[in-house]
Amino acid sequence: MEDGFLMEVCVDSVESAVNAERGGAGRIELCAGLVEGGTTPSMGLLQVVKQCVRVPVFVMIRPRGGDFLYSDREVEVMKADIRLAKLHGADGLVFGALTEDGRIDTELCTALLAACRPLPVTFHRAFDMVHDPQVALETLISLGFERVLTSGCDSSALEGLSLIKKLAEQAKGRIVVVPGGGITERNLQRILEGSTVSEFHCSARSARDSGMKFRNPNVAMGASFSAPEYSIKVADVAKVRTLNAIAKNIL
């Protein structure tokens, strides 16, 4: 933050975490399943990432892809994952939960926040699915969330920039509004200059070819929409450095 903007990079591997730190990330959001928008990572991944990086690691608590309306059993999984993440060195936690009518689930969030403390907590992009974002922001502030990650309730942070600006102004320092969603070196300057935010969130990934020499083109391990079997997406040191440099030059 001494350079004005803090860059958070979402990662789903040790390699990406190391690359993010090397490129200048100030914080890591650790997930699994980025193709689904991020789910809870394994505790093994958290343990090894914590051994390899020094920047704070915030852990995603999301038991599945899809919506943010959770069953009682899913809530038990989330509480167990929070306990384990704290045990294995998480520096912060990231979750979100909504009611069926698109409002913040205050009862569930209160219980999960209590389980997370004393660690800082970010409400993730479930926020982009709320019925009324300005009312939802006040709810998050009253609950005590430190941050909210948002694309401005649009397809990307650039598309949602006007709402991000309004939310940051509404927050008045009571919660950190973190733009995220489709942020690249091509649009970061516009997003930072067009809002009053102090942090931003990105993945900064590039695809690299698998090291496999024998390949079976007839079999895929996931659904038809999943990533190609022999292409691996990792945080790109050069991209992270470029984004960091753009942020610094805006000062």
Q: What is the pLDDT of residue 220?
A: 82
187 close to 243: Cβ distance less than 8 angstroms:
no
Rounded to two decimals, what is the model's pTM?
Answer: 0.95
Q: What is the pLDDT of residue 1?
A: 47
141 close to 175: Cβ distance less than 8 angstroms:
yes
CA-nearest of 17, 53, 56, 52 to 34 is 17
Q: What is the pLDDT of residue 221?
A: 82
φ/ψ bin of 6: left (φ > 0), alpha (ψ from -120 to 50), beta (otherwise): beta
92 close to 58: Cβ distance less than 8 angstroms:
yes
Report the largest interatomic distance among the alpha carbons of the chain, rounded to a whole angstrom.
Answer: 56
For residue 24, give both structure tokens. 């200048």
**Residues near 207 by beta carbon (within 8 Å), at least 6 away in sequence:** 231, 232, 233
Q: What is the pLDDT of residue 229?
A: 81
Place of tokens 């009053």: 196
Local confidence pLDDT in tens for the 251 residues of the chain: 445 799 999 999 999 999 999 999 999 999 999 989 999 999 999 999 999 999 999 999 999 999 999 999 999 999 999 999 999 999 999 999 999 999 999 999 999 999 999 999 999 999 999 999 999 999 999 999 999 999 999 999 999 999 999 999 999 999 999 999 999 999 999 999 999 999 999 999 999 999 999 999 888 887 656 677 888 999 999 999 999 999 999 85
Please state which CATH class domain 6-210+226-250 belongs to.
alpha beta
Q: What is the pLDDT of residue 222?
A: 76
